[in-house]
Amino acid sequence: MSIPPPDPIPFCPDVSTFLTLIGRNLISQQSKIPSWSALFSLTSNQLRDSGLEPARTRRYLLRWRQKFRDGEFGIGGDLRYVGEDGGAALRIVDIKSQTSQDTPLSANLIKDDQVRRVVVNVPTNASDEQVQNIINEIEQGTTSPGVNGMKIKGWDMIAGKNVRLLGSGKAELKASPGLWEHKRGIKVDGGERRKAEVRAKRRAAERKT
């Protein structure tokens, strides 16, 4: 029995965005993956038959597919509010701590023993009331504090990969090519399988000279 595909998330709602985020130019292969269901159901052999090459690209896609199923997202994966243009509004707010041990992941500024400054995701053009409701949810423990991957620099500047600053305490994050990409390792002396052979030949050549 086939496993149903996971639900899209606000920051990654479709195949195009998924392929854009994981990078390695997989967006150029979009025509080979016609739907969200196909993205999570096509086998490695089916992807190969469709022309998705080389094999390491298929393995990379399948690895990210499983990570998505497991809820392991990159930056932006925990955002709740994303606009129609794909932009997510971020804002710095003050959060009252319930205990002295309450230190949100994205907080790096402490005003006093009871208040932390954190980066939160808010609706685009959020009203003061909407922002306050989000603060209340965090303080009541119904919403996780902070946005993963975001930090506060200085006192009111949001810092993070591909963040666009919009003014004091405000910023925007959009899905961009390679935002979730796992960079390829640099092969030294031909990679693991050929490393010993390459180095042995080099030592032999050095002894001759």
pLDDT in tens, 74-87: 999 999 999 999 99
Q: What is the pTM of this model?
A: 0.80
Secondary structure (DSSP) of 84-121: TTSEEEEEEEEEE-SSTT---TT--EEEETTEEEEEEE
Contact 120, 160 (CB under 8 A): no
Mean pLDDT of 4-29: 96
Q: Over the stretch 174-198, which tens digit does the pLDDT of each residue have?
A: 999 999 999 876 555 666 567 677 7
Tokens of 71: 């809820």
93-97, 99-103, 139-143, 164-168: which has the highest mean pLDDT? 164-168
What values do phi and psi take at 152, rounded to 5? -110, 125
Q: What's the pLDDT score for residue 37?
A: 96
Q: What's the pLDDT score for residue 186?
A: 56
Q: Over the stretch 140-165, which tens digit does the pLDDT of each residue have?
A: 888 888 899 999 998 899 999 999 99
Give the span between the Cα atoms of 91 and 93, in whole angstroms.
Answer: 6
Q: Which residues contact 153 (CB under 8 A, 6 or more apart)?
A: 159
Give the span between the Cα atoms of 97 and 151, in whole angstroms.
Answer: 18
Q: What's the pLDDT score for residue 99?
A: 52
* pLDDT-based confidence at residue 201 (cuts at 50, 70, 90): confident
Contact 75, 180 (CB under 8 A): yes
- Kindly report the number of other CB atoms within 10 A of residue 170's CB atom: 16
Placement of tokens 């999570």 in the chain: 40
